[in-house]
Amino acid sequence: EAALRLSGVAKTYNPGSPGEVRVLQGIDLTVNPGEVVALVAPSGAGKSTLLHICGLLDTPDSGTVAIGGQDMTGQPEGRRTAVRRQEVGFVYQFHHLLPEFTAAENVILPQLANGTPRAAAEARAAELLGLVGVAPRARHRPAALSGGEQQRVAFCRAMANAPRLLLADEPTGNLDPETADQVFGALMTLVRTTGMAALIATHNLELAARMDRVLRLNQGKLDP
Ligand code: ADP
Ligand code: ADP
């Protein structure tokens, strides 16, 4: 069963008006469990729109989006939100960690919100932070961490509730090349250890080449 499957997805902003923008046309894509797929796109190609549709933050005009084999087309917003919370983790270029909480607490809180008992949430946070090498920094607030450490904590937070699918938008875009390399290595460790699927948008062609597959988005279409 695919972690993510899009079929014939199309999206146009402001249809029929002078400001019409045809962003996505006929997008078919599949990401299988355990697969790390790169999404490479020039600016303005529709990358953010595509990631938002994959993460159920936006709806296509036509076509279908299925997460873990569940077709989300036409599902009510409450159901989409529940599936998003349970099945999808997001990472952005900037970490968006809660500044007043420690690294560990940033990974624990989403689990508590999801109903996980505190002891289990703490154990999982410690395990995830250990996997990416920031266990010694667990009691520090984000401001006390380096950029690479902050982003590794952001990955752990995104994976806190064991989502089926990780969506990342330029997760290393704000880091120097060496740190980006380390952070990417940590991400691969997390994904390989948990067996989750990941779709990672990046401008870094070197990192893209190290993923399992590269998808290229050009003018709203995926290159065959
Ligand atoms: P990318 O992330 O690849 O830069 P986006 O998905 O953000 O691309 O945007 C693709 C195109 O759609 C761009 O031309 C952008 O200006 C346009 N666009 C994005 N969001 C909107 C919106 N809400 N209304 C109108 N046009 C939009
Ligand atoms: P980088 O060069 O990788 O961005 P920094 O030079 O910012 O890293 O930090 C080096 C080390 O010092 C890191 O382990 C970081 O967590 C730690 N560190 C940086 N600032 C603080 C701080 N204000 N309090 C505690 N530790 C810090």
Beta-sheet pairing, 4-13 with 21-31: antiparallel
| Pairwise CA distance, residues 133 & 163, whole Å | 21
pLDDT tens figures, 80-118: 999 999 999 999 888 899 999 999 999 999 999 999 999
Which amino acid, 79? R
pLDDT tens figures, 121-164: 999 999 999 999 999 999 999 999 999 999 999 999 999 999 99
**216 in helix, strand or coil?**
strand
Q: Look-up: residue for tokens 């900037």?
A: 94
Residue 150's nearest CA partner among 183, 178, 192 is 183
CA of 134 to the centre of ligand 1 (A): 35
Please provide residue 137's backbone torsions phi and psi, each rounded to the nearest 5 degrees: -105, 10
* Ligand 1, CB within 6 Å, residue ranges: 13-14, 21, 23, 41, 43-49
Question: Residues 186, 217: contact at Cβ < 8 Å?
Answer: no
Which atom of ligand 1 is the closest one to the Cα of 48?
2
Report, as an integer, the average pLDDT of 29-50.
Answer: 94
ipTM of the complex: 0.64
Question: Residues 145, 157: contact at Cβ < 8 Å?
Answer: no
Contacts of 54 (CB under 8 A, 6+ apart): 4, 6, 65, 88, 165, 167, 199
pLDDT tens figures, 47-71: 999 999 999 999 999 999 999 999 9
| Pairwise CA distance, residues 156 & 64, whole Å | 29
pLDDT tens figures, 172-207: 988 899 999 988 998 898 888 888 999 999 999 999
Count of alpha carbons within 13 Å of 156, Cβ hemisphere only?
33
Question: Residues 143, 159: contact at Cβ < 8 Å?
Answer: no
CA of 70 to the centre of ligand 1 (A): 27
CA of 133 to the centre of ligand 2 (A): 14
Q: Look-up: residue for tokens 């952005």?
A: 92
Average pLDDT, the chain: 94
Which atom of ligand 2 is the closest one to the Cα of 148?
3
